[in-house]
Structure 1
Amino acid sequence: MSDSRPSHAPIHAPSNVFPVVDDCLQIGGVALSQLAQRVGQTPFYAYDRQAMTERVAALRTALPEGISVHYAVKANPMPAVVQHMAGLVDGLDVASGRELRVALDAGIPAGEISFAGPGKSLNELAMAVGAGITLNIESETELERVAEISAQTGEMAHVAVRVNPDFELKTSGMKMSGGPKAFGVDAERVPALLKRIGELGLHFRGFHIFSGSQNLRSEALIEAQGQTFDLALRLAESAPGPVEMLNMGGGFGIPYFPGETPLDLAPITAHLESRLPAVREQLPRAEIILELGRYLVGEAGIYVAEVIDRKESRGQIFLITNGGLHHHLAASGNFGQVIRKNYPVVVGNRMQGDERELVNVVGPLCTPLDVLAQQMELARAEVGDLIVVFQSGAYGYTASPTRFLSHPEPVEILV
């Protein structure tokens, strides 16, 4: 389905992140046109390391003292990005063997890496046990496999239990809990699993309780965090050892579409400050973790494609670019499975052009779903101009079908 209504609302493109100089967007202090020459091709993704640094610093300033911040590598696993983030956060969470290798290459201690996700292969489990990282157990079967690997190799497995809670993160962009789910162990089954961990003699580390993602409502996040604390304290009564970590997930969202506003952290901070003393009294050894991905890097990235044709069709202007759905699935509308809304899009080398027009920005693929902007007001663009999609630092390149129709893949650069 698509929404063909014009989008004239203000663009979510923080000027402090990507300033405009001489009508051209700046990324990491480099003009977009110069950056394109440096990259040597379009399309490309560009990520601003300073924007990431500032986001982590701002979050730490806002959060109560003692809250650890972990980076979810799946949001953007580019090795250079992970290397940069490893120097800013307290830990990394991975979701595959390849991400685990990237995390280990970043030089972060194994004890600060966790591995979550259903369906881990035997090779991935063996890698994790051998590396000494924390494995978030997602099922009874996975626990037995980990125990067998640990016994065969003589390496102690460090395990936490990923819990599928009996609540959900309301108004979440993606609900990860609250009903039958492939993720984690149902809360009511966890006490038996904890008993089994004790019988197997594995190193129990704690809990991972993640209920949803991409949420902009502080009241919903506060409710979920409160329920997470309550559940963790109940489950801790059945734990085979001290709770050393409580990963609360994250769920912090960023604005993508007209009408959305940035998440207000102040109420979340106040709630955490009110709950933490009692939690720490009951779980004195537990590291309290917020695991975030999109919130830390999403606004620090852009996707850039070049206009290769300009045409008119029955009263509408089409800017045809050399990039699109195959590089940035989310901006295109995820293969038409949702009501499509425009991501913030601009003509990056004509940011303040006086001549404006209503246009469609489409890619080169043989499908009407290959759309980056639909009936959106932009500066007048010509062949060779650069189309920029903001909010592209997370779930962009690696979350897209880059082999679809066999077009060239984009380049990534950390500026």
Structure 2
Amino acid sequence: MKTPEPADSQFAPSIPDPLSPLFATQPQLAVPLSYLRTVDGVLQIGGKSMQQIADLLSQQRFYAYDRQAISMKIHQLRSKMPAQLKLHYAIKANPYLPVVQHVGTLVDGFDVASQGELLLALQTGMQALQISFAGPGKTDTELLAAMTAGCCVHVESAGELQRLCGIATQSGQTATIALRVNPEFELKAAGMKMAGGAKAFGIDQQQVFELLPKLAAMPVKLVGFHLYCGSQNLQAEAILQTQQQIIHLLQQLLPLCPASLQFVNLGGGLGVPYYTSDRAVDLELLAAGWTQLFEQLPADLQHLEFILELGRYLVAEAGVYACKVVDIKQSHAQTFVVCNGGMHHHLANSGNFGQVIRRNYPVAFADKLDQPLVAPVQVAGPLCTPLDVLADKIQLPQAAVGDWFVVFQSGAYGATASPQAFLGHGAVAEILL
């Protein structure tokens, strides 16, 4: 297992001019983004303004990620986690190689969901056994690659298990596997529910009970279970309740396992507060709940490693999407601020990546964080669709052509989760500073 970097001296640097006091004048922000910094009202990422980053990249539309902010976020979480709980990073949240390499020094493992992510994870130096390959619809090519690499395949269906056994027999290998269980319970208050009832993810709980006695005759080695019940949850009580239910289910599953297990992936679920009505996950409450959970852990489970798998929570707050104002226009007494970037670079911000009703991400003019707000405006992108909205009816300082417009909380599900080829406006740049 990869050993995380040492704690206090590295993760508690002095941060001059934190943003939180200035953000009192930015009511669209759900929580102060204290990991980022500002100088004289100008946003800094890695010590550089948006214009300086643009000069580095020779690009006027980009994602910028703050290395120190990622480190501090992970350190804050790990300081609350009991020793029995390990931390894995779900690469799909942000697969930008410098980000993955940096996060890899701070966590215990990776979760991947494609052969491309698998190759990326392996090339960071993470040990193969600390890489889990999950997700429905794995191809035979991907199953062979995962087995050849020596990583753990998280099996999502009886059919996938059958195909994996055929590939293992043909290649003369034994597959290391975990069974992803679709339990009867769900993660309450999750933004996206991924368990309980009919789901494309995992093997139904009753089917798992039926499969376990058959594994001894198969060319597989069962080393764990995976129960990812949902994501984007801001309620610590709901997360803890689901984890307690997982413990109860494990006690029923363990006697049927053909060999001693090594780990249980509890999934993640910790959400990010994007909107003004949101409140951050209560880490103190989670810490107290985890302490109680592991102090009362049944004896037959105490040898297991428990894994918390997170993506968005670790990197979202450390990133911004930046673009420039190119036009300001009036239409029927409404002001439109038009930018050179939009939904083709940041689909989630447009409301077309899981939202039922569109709500604004936290946004600002990066060089005017200390200036007063004026009348509401709509911030639009350059695409020929009314869906290309960066912010709607949002109060901002007085806009001017050339201003840097930034979308906060953009370190996850940004560039690779967006249709960058749409209308041929070109790809967005990325940088870790």
Shift of 1:355: 5.9
Which of 78, 84, 87 in structure 2 is aligned with 1:66?
84
Matches of 1:31 and 1:172, distance apart in 2: 36
Task: Name whichever of 170-179 and 59-68 sits farther off.
Answer: 59-68
Q: Which residue of 2 aligns with 1:179?
A: 197
- 2:66 counterpart residue number: 48
Structure 2: runs of 5 or more not aligned: 1-24
Q: 1:170 aligns with which of 188, 210, 229?
A: 188
Q: Distance in 2 between matches of 1:16 and 1:10?
A: 15
CA contact 2:128–2:150 (8 Å) conserved in 1: yes
Query: What's the CA shift for 1:337?
Result: 6.2
Secondary structure, in 3 states, of the residue corresponding to 2:271?
Answer: coil
Matches within 5 A, 1:270-309: 270-279=288-297, 281-309=299-327
Q: Which moved more, 1:279-288 or 1:59-68?
A: 279-288
**Whole-angstrom CA distance in 1 between matches of 2:238 and 2:29:** 25
Alignment partner of 1:191 out of 178, 194, 209: 209
Residue 336 (structure 1) shift? 9.4
Query: Is 1:383 the equivalent of 2:398?
Result: no
CA distance in 2, matches of 1:287, 1:100: 22
Whether 1:102 aligns to 2:120 is yes
Mapping for residues 329-368 of structure 1, pairs under 5 Å: 329-334=347-352, 338-354=356-372, 356-368=374-386
How big is the shift at 1:335? 7.1
Comparing 249-258 and 139-148, the one that deviates more: 139-148
Q: TM-score, normalised by structure 2?
A: 0.91
CA distance in 2, matches of 1:13, 1:387: 19
1:9-408 maps to which residues of 2 (within 5 A)?
9-12=27-30, 14-279=32-297, 281-334=299-352, 338-354=356-372, 356-408=374-426
In the alignment, residue 283 of structure 1 is paired with which amino acid? Answer: L
**Residue deviations 1:220-263, cap 9 Å, x none?**
11111111111122111211111111000010001000121111
In structure 1, distance between residues paired with 2:244 and 2:103? 28
Please say if residues 175 and 219 of structure 2, whose CA atoms lie closer than 8 Å, have aligned partners that are also in contact.
no
Question: After superposition, what is the alpha-carbon deviation per residue over 1:339-393, rounded to whole angstroms, capped at 9, x for unaligned?
Answer: 1111000001111124633211000111101001001001112111110000001
Residue of structure 2 in register with 1:4 after alignment? none
Contact 2:30 2:277 in 1 (8 A): no
What does the per-residue CA deviation read over 1:126-163, in whole Å, with 9 as the maximum and x for residues that have no partner? 10000000000001111111111112222221000000
4+ runs of 1 displaced by more than 6 Å?
none
CA contact 1:129–1:149 (8 Å) conserved in 2: no
CA distance, structure 1, for counterparts of residue 158 and residue 238 of structure 2: 31
Preserved contact between residue 164 and residue 187 of structure 1 (Cα < 8 Å): yes
Structure-1 separation of matches of 2:31 and 2:331: 30
CA RMSD of aligned residues (A): 1.6
With over 3 angstroms needed to count, the CA separation of the structure-2 counterparts of 1:77 and 1:346, relative to structure 1, is: same
Question: Does the 8 Å CA contact 2:349/2:360 hold for their aligned counterparts?
Answer: yes
Give, as a single letter, the amino acid of the residue that structure 1 aligns with 2:41: D
SS for the counterpart of 2:375 is: strand
- Alignment check: 8 A CA contact 2:28 2:363 kept: no
Match of 2:13 in 1: none
Q: Which amino acid aligns with 2:152?
A: T
- Note if contact 1:163-1:187 (Cα within 8 Å) is conserved in structure 2: yes
Paired positions, count: 409
Which one-letter code corresponds to 1:168 in the other structure?
A: E
Residues 337 and 271 (structure 1), Cα distance of their counterparts in 2 relative to 1, 3 Å cut: closer
1:402 Cα offset (Å): 1.4
Separation in structure 2 between the aligned mates of residue 280 and residue 121 of structure 1, nearest angstrom: 38
Q: Distance in 1 between matches of 2:31 and 2:420?
A: 26
Q: Which runs of 5+ in 1 are unaligned?
A: 1-6
Q: Normalising by the residue count of structure 1, what TM-score does the alignment of the two structures yield?
A: 0.95
Distance between the aligned counterparts of 2:327 and 2:432, measured in 1? 28
